[in-house]
Amino acid sequence: MSAARRCCPPRALAGLFVWRLRSTGVPQIPCRFMRLYHVANNRLITFQYFNFLKRMYVTQCNKDLRQRAKPKSDSTVSPFHELQQLDQEKKVVHKISPVSPVHQSESETSSRNELREMKSAAETEDSVIQVGAESKEDRQWKEMKLRLDDLPGILARLSKIKLTALVVSTTSAGFAMAPVPFELTCFLLASLGTGLASCAANSVNQFFEVPFDSNMNRTKNRPLVRGQISPLLAVCFAASCGIPGIVLLTLGVNPLTGALGAFNIFLYTCCYTPLKRMSIANTWVGAVVGAIPPMMGWTAATGSLDAGALLLGGILYSWQFPHFNALSWGLREDYSRGGYCMMSVTHPGLCRRVALRHCLALIGLSMVAPVLNITTWTFPIISLPINLYISYLGFRFYRDADRSSSRKLFFCSLWHLPMLLLVMFTCKKSVLEKEDKGDLPGGSHETAMEIQLP
Amino acid sequence: PPAHSHSDWIGPPDRHSNLRPVIFYVPPEESALERRLREARQEAQASNQRFWARHNRAFRQEKEEFIYSRLKAKGLEMRDESGHKATLNAEEMADFYKDFLSKNFKKHLQYNRDWYKHNFRITFLMGQVALVRALRWLRWRKKNVEQ
């Protein structure tokens, strides 16, 4: 699967580039060319990045499928990221509830989750590999001493580094979609700042949830749960990531992006995390948390929150629901025992309805994109098949409400989002096109050029 | 853990509570602050252990009862012909999960409050201890440099 996905050879990209050149009717004026070169470069970077991510998803999916073939005694169950060992009692428990295989498959898959669901995606490739080795080590007593060579790995797991990478990629998607010329330094600063903020938020989340994490299969192997790091260090790490991250965003990019970043950290750590145990409203809050990074990317590029930012945020917001609801469908036992208030446990009908509703909303939002001049009209047309497919799976989930439909929907959501963002980017309305159209009929190219020059 | 060790040791997850027990190292010249920290950690550990062991035990028990009653209602036995334990499918279990969650809601709210309090206090004390140790080390170094 990954081989097939490793598609789009550079030739195709070059072809795309040439096509763009032709379509925008660019004469051989150096400055225009430079600008186009930047745009195309950005596309190249983002495209390769997305490709890499897709590969990551698919690899994780593959690993997951492979893992499921292993005998149960060896396998680990982890709702979201990490793998665990089954001890005797769990074996009995799992025998009783056939739901457990779902746990295994879903847990091993990383799912994207901005600061919640997106987070699920990243975590544990290493966990998958380490399963066998860890099972023996797990049973031993370990010294609670911090080893410096372990520290990078521990901090990576503490900050859910893969999920952070996905968050940063949505931010860069937001940046790329903004109708302004591409600036590399701004892009890098925004990505770095968002990444640091996400690390901080994830660390604080893990700091708050230690006993709950130890009781849930997918989160059993987190650093704080295993005592590899002290809570004090986790908090210090969070502070040392979060504060520079927000400062970088505020000073290096613009205050609006910094404010959004700080707000997002607050929303995730102080609203979503406690709400998870109090009311099902946490899913909606979490969806907002996931929707903010692309908006941050947009504001980093343009400096203002306009309709385009809201649209991108809306797309991410709607995406969270089929993704998370499908995933949580298989984790009902762990949520129930752990005391988490999730729709899949308390209001299963609502869970499925909401997932379907938001799949359909994605179609609607894709239609709005060209109206707001963010993309051309090809975008709703090209994205229609994938949106219809996920809506179909959402409908199946709604109707059947069983394990297989929830898993199908979940896996679909994993590739649906990167593909949607990619299509959106390729259908992006060129900045130059717009300015061309805005020119007076008799206006010269030079005037247009002057407007564009910084 | 070995007798000569100077650090805390953490063990495998407990069978009932899934929490990892910690054996705390008591240094010979433990200050009052460090003692408060250790006691706070021990207290939190004990309280967590109590809560989760009891909670998980109740969960397992109620789950068995639920399965038993449902199987009985369907006219089946706990074990089928091949001797395997009869199971209910996920949809039937869903009722149990929903019920269990709502029954324990208040308990969880109370536990959350306690846990957050413990967590903040422990982390704050850790911060104080670390600060005191750092200052002590700086003073010791200054003394060494002066000598």
Q: What is the CATH number of the domain that holds A214?
A: 1.10.357.140
Q: Which band of pLDDT confidence, cut at 50, 70 and 90, is reported for residue A313?
A: very high
Q: What is the pLDDT of residues A326-353, one digit of tens each?
A: 999 988 888 999 999 999 998 888 999 9
Q: What share of chain A has pLDDT > 90, as a percent?
A: 45
Contact state of A232 with B97 under an 8 Å Cβ cutoff: no
B122 inside 8 A of chain A by CB = yes
Q: Which band of pLDDT confidence, cut at 50, 70 and 90, is reported for residue A21?
A: very low
Residues of chain A in contact with residue B65, where contact means CB-CB under 8 angstroms, are none
Contact state of B101 with A336 under an 8 Å Cβ cutoff: yes
Residues of chain A in contact with residue B7, where contact means CB-CB under 8 angstroms, are 143-145
Are A168 and A267 found together in one domain? Answer: yes
A 95-124 near B (Cβ less than 8 A): 95-99, 102
Above 80 in pLDDT, residue A30? no
Contact state of A207 with B119 under an 8 Å Cβ cutoff: yes
Contact state of B5 with A274 under an 8 Å Cβ cutoff: no
Which of A302, A334, A366 is the C-terminal boundary of a domain? Answer: A302
B 16-75 near A (Cβ less than 8 A): 17-20, 22-23, 48, 52, 55-56, 59-60, 63, 67
Domain limits at A258? 148-302
pLDDT of A33 reads 44
Task: Using CB atoms, pick whichever of A98, A207, A336 lies closest to residue B90.
Answer: A98
One-letter-per-residue 3-state SS of chain A: CHHHHCCCCHHHHHHHHHHHHHHCCCCCCHHHHHHHHHHHHHHHHHHHHHHHHHHHHHHHHHHHHHHHCCCCCCCCCCCCCCCCCCCHHHHHHHHHCCCHHHHHHHHHCCCCCCCCCCHHHHCCHHHHHHHHHHHHHHCCCEECCCCCCCHHHHHHHHCCHHHHHHHHHHHHHHHHHCCCCCCHHHHHHHHHHHHHHHHHHHHHHHHHCHHHHHHCHHHCCCCCCCCCCCHHHHHHHHHHHHHHHHHHHHHHHCHHHHHHHHHHHHHHHHHHHHHCCCCCCHHHHHHHHHHHHHHHHHHHHHCCCCHHHHHHHHHHHHHHHHHHHHHHHCCHHHHHHHCCCCHHHHCHHHHHHHHHHHHHHHHHHHHHHHHCCCECCHHHHHHHHHHHHHHHHHHHHHHHCCHHHHHHHHHHHHHHHHHHHHHHHHCECCHHHHHHHHCCCCCCHHHHHHHHCC
Q: Which band of pLDDT confidence, cut at 50, 70 and 90, is reported for residue A132?
A: low
For residues A298 and A169, give the distance between their C-alpha atoms in angstroms, rounded to a whole number.
12
Are A270 and A318 found together in one domain? Answer: no
- Preferred mutation among B4, B5, B20, B84 to probe A, highest tally of A CBs within 10 A: B20
Contact state of B97 with A145 under an 8 Å Cβ cutoff: no
Indicate yes or no: pTM above 0.80.
no
What rounded mean pLDDT belongs to chain B?
Answer: 87
pLDDT of A266 reads 96
pLDDT of A34 reads 45
Cα torsion A105, A110, A112, A113: sign: positive
Lowest model confidence (mean pLDDT) among A98-102, A138-142, A161-165, B23-27 = A98-102
pLDDT of A29 reads 43
What's the rounded mean pLDDT across residues A397-411?
90
Contact state of B18 with A215 under an 8 Å Cβ cutoff: yes
Contact state of A226 with B10 under an 8 Å Cβ cutoff: yes
Contact state of A98 with B115 under an 8 Å Cβ cutoff: no
pLDDT of A105 reads 41
Q: What is the pLDDT of residues A216-244, one digit of tens each?
A: 888 888 999 998 999 999 999 999 999 99
Are A382 and A358 found together in one domain? Answer: yes
- Look at residue A262 and tell me if it is in a domain: yes
A 351-380 near B (Cβ less than 8 A): none
Are A335 and A265 found together in one domain? Answer: no
Higher-pLDDT residue of A49 and A355 is A355
Å between A66 CA and nearest CA of chain B: 23
pLDDT of A4 reads 41
Domain total of chain A: 2
- Look at residue A355 and tell me if it is in a domain: yes
Are A286 and A415 found together in one domain? Answer: no
- Look at residue A133 and tell me if it is in a domain: no
- Look at residue A119 and tell me if it is in a domain: no
Q: What share of chain A has pLDDT > 70, as a percent?
A: 64
Domain range summary for chain B, segments of one domain joined by +? 9-146
A404 inside 8 A of chain B by CB = no
Above 50 in pLDDT, residue A373? yes
pLDDT of A136 reads 63
Residue A216: closest C-alpha in chain B: B18
Which of A285, A302, A319 is the C-terminal boundary of a domain? Answer: A302
Chain A, chain B: beta-carbon pairs less than 8 Å apart: 131
Q: Which band of pLDDT confidence, cut at 50, 70 and 90, is reported for residue A268?
A: very high
Q: Which band of pLDDT confidence, cut at 50, 70 and 90, is reported for residue A64?
A: very low
pLDDT of A18 reads 43
Residue A87: closest C-alpha in chain B: B15
Q: Which band of pLDDT confidence, cut at 50, 70 and 90, is reported for residue B28?
A: confident
Q: Which band of pLDDT confidence, cut at 50, 70 and 90, is reported for residue B114?
A: very high
Lowest model confidence (mean pLDDT) among A74-78, A150-154, A401-405 = A74-78
Q: What share of chain B has pLDDT > 90, as a percent?
A: 49
What's the rounded mean pLDDT across residues A49-53?
49
Q: What is the pLDDT of residues B39-55, one digit of tens each?
A: 999 999 999 999 999 99
Q: In what order do the strands lie in the sheet with B9-10?
A: A142-143, B9-10, B22-23
pLDDT of A135 reads 61
- Preferred mutation among B18, B54, B61, B120 to probe A, highest tally of A CBs within 10 A: B18
The token pair that represents A321 in the structure block: 């629901």
Are A225 and A354 found together in one domain? Answer: no
Å between A173 CA and nearest CA of chain B: 37
What's the rounded mean pLDDT across residues B80-94?
70
- Look at residue A139 and tell me if it is in a domain: no
- 3-state SS class at B65: helix
Lowest model confidence (mean pLDDT) among A58-62, A247-251, A423-427 = A58-62
Are A256 and A208 found together in one domain? Answer: yes
Are A291 and A196 found together in one domain? Answer: yes
Q: Which band of pLDDT confidence, cut at 50, 70 and 90, is reported for residue B79?
A: low
